[in-house]
Amino acid sequence: AGAEAGLEATAYFAPERAGYSSSAQACVVDVDVETGRVDIVAYAVGHDCGTLINPLLVDGQIYGGVAHGLGNALYERPVFDAGGQPLTTSYLDYALPSAREVPRMVTVHLETPSPLNPLGVKGAGEAGTLGAPAVVAGAVEDALRPFGVRITELPLTPPRIADLAAEAGSP
């Protein structure tokens, strides 16, 4: 009772090994211990995504990835009720960084072509996302070092930072 599919294809790609990109990030922050506000003063990303075909697009991938990582580090906190239903279901109660919170940053492009494909390319978007939560948490912990604060979980929301500083006492 219907037409059978006429064209069907299945394909698999199993490379002998993967071509990984790499990156390093640095961040300097100012932290207001009374309000918990974090201002990013300086941010830098050095990365190697193989052959750089379009630097502007790669910069966009880096900026977008860092924005995502900043959200993980400072804003995004899913909340659920006792039955497992999400309570943070809109942009009113699930905070995300806007363009205003994403700092200007220095990006350094390194090019080590991958031998695993004809263009020599590697991934670019991961570089910003993966490093940002750790580097921001490290910068906040460094800023709060005089208080003896140790960062062990994310996100570092303003109330959480203010509470950590208050619990630790004066420097």
Instruction: Please list the active-site residues.
Output: 126
* Single-letter code of the amino acid located at 52: L
Any idea of the CA torsion for 43, 47, 53, 54, to the nearest 10 degrees? -10
- Residue 106 bridge partners (DSSP): 44
CA-to-CA distance for 51 and 116, rounded, in angstroms? 12
Residues in CB range of 169: below 8 A, 6 or more apart? 147
Query: Six-digit token pair at 141?
Result: 């912990």
Strands (E), 49-168: 106-110
* Single-letter code of the amino acid located at 45: V
Closest to 29 in 3D by CA, of 166, 156, 149, 142 = 142
Query: Six-digit token pair at 137?
Result: 């948490």
